[in-house]
Structure 1
Amino acid sequence: MIDAERFAEVYWTLCPHLRWKTQFYAETPTVPPPPPDDGFFWCAFTQTCLGPDGAVVEPESCASAHRACYGTGRLR
Structure 2
Amino acid sequence: MKRDPGLQPERTHLSWRRTGWSMLLPGLLCLRGWSHTGNALYVLAGILLMGGSFAMFCGLGHGRHYLISLNVMISGTVILLMTTFNI
Say which one has the larger Rg: 2
Calculate the TM-score normalised by the size of structure 2.
0.26
Considering fraction of residues, name the structure with more strand: 1
Considering fraction of residues, name the structure with more helix: 2
Calculate the TM-score normalised by the size of structure 1.
0.28
